């Protein structure tokens, strides 16, 4: 059977090991061909090919449910569930999503972009099944990196307390999340990987004593002997109420199938520990598991990315990492904190330069924020560097542990705004709204990479409470950077970049340069705009903005964030509080989910390109009478 003929995972039933191995080879070929052509996640999916095939051969996917943690490890799942023919559209506009989406396939039982959610969701489904008296199997597949997340541990704690609730947790242990895992849990799992499998000892003991006469004493002896077989391997999981099986070879189909079949027969919660290799089957990815977690298009033979036609300015993450590192070298109080995203945030640069001032907490954003609060209590300058989308996971800690206590924690939110092909789970468009409402918080965003440098200095020097900096994914504008001597910015002060009497354009962060382009287009139609780089969404520069709004009489706000509760809302509230009533047009991301596409495609669909924004403003002028200028 060829992979292209598989339209339903139940077609795997009855296939021989040899046939499954051939399908495994085809999955890897299709996976590599697709990602090398259009980009996407590579290493995670390559590592779970055999795991997926073996698991699905032992399940009835018309009834049973598999919940994948995160989702970028589920590319083989997509290929086995009717999406082979469209797989070339992966992460493209109107194509297959890079993560799981319930609306995309009946086999995507739970959407997943953030880590550590699968066990909770699977347990919820299992409890619903039992409440309705149904009989399907429920399986959560979670990586060892995601197991460091507190939510996964909370779910394990709950499931272990329910001995009559059948639940299978498959631990995909490849010693990695995006980067190598850190902490006591990964260290424990590593010891387990290096220990010889001991399940056979329990099984052998069962065989030896099953024909002996039953007695309570013998039953207790059997259980005691089985416990002796487990301590060095699965003791923690066994003590938490799970039946532990493993570790087993995650690329041995016979062993996997045999183990999964046995696991399905055990009552209560079961954990199968599967040892896999991230990037399996592509030697270059196996050797560089961090670099090949995800890739832009690349040459399959060499593994090298396609050369760029022209040099690009440095990206914001790199500028951030370089600048913070230089400041930290001269200030031992500066502590860089990441939640398993060193490479993505630029803190890998920081780690190399000042390793003693670097902390990776694993996939544990809540812990990262409260850890930063504790550091701030003792006079350190913690810099919590977390993607905008991931900082959402620590909202209560921001409120309860940082803002209420007015602690000087510096939040740096990478990937703020539209992020592209990762889709709704990763769009960084809510941070302005969810942070602006919290007392004691300061919010700022740079217009370019040079201003980013100054804002990093501002954030480190600010000691009156928490302060947050958002910056976009991708490259800067190519403006000159300074190696040292950056000046901090006055809190809550913007700047005028262009003057005109007809309309006031207030740009925030990544929308400042587009605001200047909009002003140029408007000038071609005889409309002269004042353009302000707001710099701060909180506090708003009332001394600058209120007189300009009153004098000019028309206001347009531009932001790369959600409109409800965003920067534009802050401006409207400020004008109302000052009893200034003028027309205000808010331009930003409306109240909808932004699906996967390139950032440029998303902006065009949302009417956020400079020509489209200028057109909206021109329509506004045609519908409104000329404002009466205050005398």
Q: Which of 175, 322, 365, 451 is catalytic?
A: 365
Lookup result for tokens 């199997």: 137
**Strand pairing class (40-41; 294-295):** antiparallel
- DSSP secondary structure letter of residue 487: P
3-class DSSP state of 591: coil
Q: Which of 65, 101, 278, 538 is catalytic?
A: 278
Residues 241, 250: Cα–Cα separation, whole Å = 24
Q: Is 393 a catalytic residue?
A: yes
Q: Which of 326, 393, 415, 585 is catalytic?
A: 393
- Using only C-alpha atoms, the chain has a radius of gyration, in whole angstroms, of 27
Residues 325, 348: Cα–Cα separation, whole Å = 10
Closest CA to 548 of 515, 499, 508: 499
3-class DSSP state of 282: coil
CB 504 within 8 A of CB 554: yes
Backbone angles phi, psi at 232, to 5 degrees: -75, -10
Q: 428 has which bridge partners?
A: 417
Biggest CA-to-CA distance, the chain? 104
User: Cis omega (within 30 of 0) on the bond before 203?
Assistant: no
Q: Which two tokens stand for residue 405?
A: 């206590």
- DSSP secondary structure letter of residue 517: H
CB 98 within 8 A of CB 41: yes
- Give 563-567's long-range contacts (Cβ < 8 A, gap of 24+): 563/588, 563/589, 563/590, 563/591, 564/433, 564/591, 565/432, 565/433, 565/434, 565/436, 565/437, 566/432, 566/433, 566/436, 566/537, 567/432, 567/506, 567/508, 567/534, 567/537
3-class DSSP state of 439: coil
Q: Is 278 a catalytic residue?
A: yes
Residue 362 CB coordination number (10 Å): 25
Closest CA to 394 of 350, 459, 321, 337: 337
Residues 56, 13: Cα–Cα separation, whole Å = 8
For residue 514, what are the CA distances in angstroms to 283, 601, 602, 609? 43, 16, 15, 8
Contacts of 595 (CB under 8 A, 6+ apart): 93, 97, 423, 424, 602
Q: Rounded to 5 degrees, what angle do the CA atoms 363, 364, 367 make?
A: 160
Catalytic residues: 278, 365, 393
């Amino acid at each position: 059977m060829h992979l292209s003929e598989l339209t339903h995972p139940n077609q795997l039933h009855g296939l021989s090991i040899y046939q499954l191995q051939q399908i495994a080879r085809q999955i890897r070929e299709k996976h590599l061909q697709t990602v090398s052509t259009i980009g996407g996640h590579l290493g995670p999916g390559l590592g779970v090919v055999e795991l997926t095939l073996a698991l699905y051969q032992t399940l009835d996917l018309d009834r049973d449910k598999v919940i994948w943690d995160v989702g970028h490890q589920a590319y083989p799942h997509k290929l086995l569930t009717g999406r082979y023919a469209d797989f070339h559209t992966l992460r493209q506009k109107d194509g297959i999503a890079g993560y799981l989406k319930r609306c995309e396939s009946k086999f995507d039982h739970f959407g997943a972009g953030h880590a550590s959610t699968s066990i909770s969701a699977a347990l919820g489904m299992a409890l619903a099944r039992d409440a309705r008296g149904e009989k399907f199997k429920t399986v959560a597949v979670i990586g060892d990196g995601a197991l460091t997340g507190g939510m996964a541990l909370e779910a394990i704690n709950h499931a272990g307390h329910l001995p009559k609730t059948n639940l299978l947790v498959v631990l995909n242990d490849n010693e990695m999340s995006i980067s190598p895992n850190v902490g006591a849990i990964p260290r424990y799992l590593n010891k387990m990987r290096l220990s010889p499998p001991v399940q056979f000892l329990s099984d052998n003991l069962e065989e030896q004593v099953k024909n002996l006469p039953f007695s309570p004493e013998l039953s207790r002896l059997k259980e005691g002997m089985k416990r002796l077989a487990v301590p060095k391997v699965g003791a923690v999981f066994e003590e938490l109420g799970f039946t532990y099986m493993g570790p087993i070879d995650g690329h041995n189909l016979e062993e996997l199938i045999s183990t999964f079949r046995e696991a399905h027969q055990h009552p209560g919660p079961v954990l199968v520990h599967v040892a896999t290799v991230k990037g399996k089957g592509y030697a270059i990815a196996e050797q560089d598991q961090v670099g090949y977690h995800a890739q832009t298009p690349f040459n399959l033979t060499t593994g090298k990315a396609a050369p760029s036609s022209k040099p690009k300015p440095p990206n914001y993450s790199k500028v951030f990492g370089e600048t913070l590192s230089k400041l930290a070298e001269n200030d031992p109080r500066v502590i860089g904190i990441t939640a398993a995203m060193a490479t993505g945030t630029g803190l890998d640069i920081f780690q190399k330069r000042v390793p003693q001032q670097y902390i990776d907490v694993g996939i544990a954003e809540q812990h990262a924020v409260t850890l930063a609060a504790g550091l701030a209590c003792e006079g350190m300058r913690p810099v919590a560097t977390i993607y905008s989308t991931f900082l959402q996971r620590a909202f209560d800690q921001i409120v309860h542990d940082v803002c209420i206590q007015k602690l000087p924690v510096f939040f740096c939110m990478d990937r703020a705004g539209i992020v592209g092909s990762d889709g709704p789970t990763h769009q960084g468009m809510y941070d302005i709204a969810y942070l602006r409402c919290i007392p004691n918080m300061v919010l700022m965003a740079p217009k370019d990479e040079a201003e980013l440098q100054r804002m990093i200095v501002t954030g480190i020097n600010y000691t009156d409470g928490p302060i947050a900096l958002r910056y976009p994914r991708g490259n800067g504008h190519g403006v000159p950077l300074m190696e040292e001597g950056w000046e901090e910015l006055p809190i809550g002060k913007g700047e005028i970049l262009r003057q005109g009497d007809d309309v006031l354009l207030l740009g925030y962060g990544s929308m400042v340069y587009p605001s200047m382009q909009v002003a140029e287009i408007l000038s071609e139609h005889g409309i002269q705009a004042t353009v302000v780089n707001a710099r701060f969404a909180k506090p708003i520069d009332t001394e600058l903005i209120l007189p300009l709004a009153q004098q000019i009489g028309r206001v347009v706000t531009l932001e790369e964030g959600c409109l409800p509760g965003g920067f534009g809302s802050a401006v409207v509230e400020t004008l109302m509080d000052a009893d200034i009533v003028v027309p205000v047009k808010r331009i930003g991301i409306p109240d909808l989910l932004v699906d996967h596409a390139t950032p440029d495609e998303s902006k065009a669909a949302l009417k956020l390109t400079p020509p489209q924004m200028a057109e909206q403003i021109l329509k506004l002028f045609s519908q409104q009478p000329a404002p009466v200028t205050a005398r």
